[in-house]
Amino acid sequence: MNFEELQNHLEPENIGSAPLSVRLGVILTLCIIIIGAGLWFDTQNQLIELENHQVKEFELKEEFKLKAGQAAKLELYKEQLAEMNATFGALLRQLPEKTDVESLLVDVSQTGLASGLEVNKFKPSAEEKKGFYAELPIKLEVIGSFHEMATFISGIAALPRIVTISDMKLEPAKKDSKDAASTDGRLQMSATAKTYRYLQEDEQ
């Protein structure tokens, strides 16, 4: 069978009368094409799925490395937590309870007087609750030398309880109220001293 006869047998209208070998060849070719196409498209899906699994595997490995590192440092974290709790407890002990506030206010006032300052204003304000502690602002206005001011601030820092100074304003003190321009070298400081107390659970 030459090429022209084969081509003639492969025509759609003649394929039914083609020799058995030709029909078997056509059927085999079609089967190979169908199977090949199925395998190709199925393989493509499998390749995409494989790529997704590889990405997931990489993410899981990274997550495992992170958690393994955290687990290895667990004891260190526990030690740090215990240290932080101890530090926090020490700081809490520096906050007065309700019964200690009055004595703390007296300490602040006496620190100012012991520094040689002239106290013109010492006015505690209403306390402000902030989470687990309350803030007690005290408006201060004192007059004295720079050295006396420094001694006062140093004395405040040395108190066993936490006291902070904010909104500080220094200006020359007036020597004579009749002469606004006259000063005697002393300074006038207005500031807000803040003390703190720990709030009990029922107050929080």
Q: Does 129 share its domain with 53?
A: no
> For the stretch 142-153, what's the b/e string if a residue is b when 16 or more beta carbons lie within 10 angstroms of its beta carbon?
bbbbeebbebbb
Assigned domain for 36 exists? yes
Please indicate, yes or no, if residue 141 is contained in any of the structural domains: yes
Residues 156 and 108 both lie in one domain: yes
Look at residue 30 and tell me if it is in a domain: yes
Asked if residue 189 and residue 102 are part of one domain, the reply reads: yes
Least confident residue range of 23-27, 98-102, 188-192, 196-200: 98-102
Same domain, yes or no, for 117 and 68?
no
Do residue 125 and residue 54 come from a single domain? no
DSSP helix/strand/coil, 188: strand
> Does any domain span residue 164?
yes
- Residue 23: which residues within 8 A CB-CB, separation 6 or more? 15
- Number of structural domains (the chain) is 2
Write down the mean pLDDT value for the chain.
78
> What is the distance between the alpha carbons of residues 139 and 110, in angstroms, rounded to a whole number?
15
Phi, psi of 166, deg, nearest 5: -140, 170
* Three-class SS state of 200: coil
DSSP 17: G
Residues 120-150: tens digit of each pLDDT: 888 888 888 887 788 888 898 999 998 999 9
Say what the pLDDT of residue 125 is: 85
Strand 128-130 with 133-144, pairing: antiparallel
Residue numbers of the domain that contains 185 = 98-198
Give yes or no: residues 151 and 64 share one domain: no
Q: For residue 17, what pLDDT band results from cuts at 50, 70 and 90?
A: low
Label each residue of 56-90 as H, E or C. HHHHHHHHHHHHHHHHHCHHHHHHHHHHHHHHHHH
Q: What is the pLDDT of residues 58-110, one digit of tens each?
A: 999 999 988 888 888 888 888 888 888 777 767 766 666 664 667 777 888 88
Amino acid letter, 8: N
Per-residue exposure over 117-130, b if at least 16 CB sit within 10 Å of its own CB, e if not: beeeebebeebeee
Note whether 176 and 130 are same-domain residues.
Answer: yes
Give yes or no: residues 102 and 179 share one domain. Answer: yes
Domain boundary among 57, 72, 87: 72
Q: Is residue 92 part of a domain?
A: no
Tokens of 82: 């215990």
62 and 118 co-located in one domain: no
Q: Is residue 193 in a domain?
A: yes
User: Sign of the CA dihedral 97, 101, 107, 112?
Assistant: positive
Question: Quick one: pLDDT at residue 179?
Answer: 46
Quote the tokens at residue 166: 């904010």
Residue 104 lies in a domain: yes
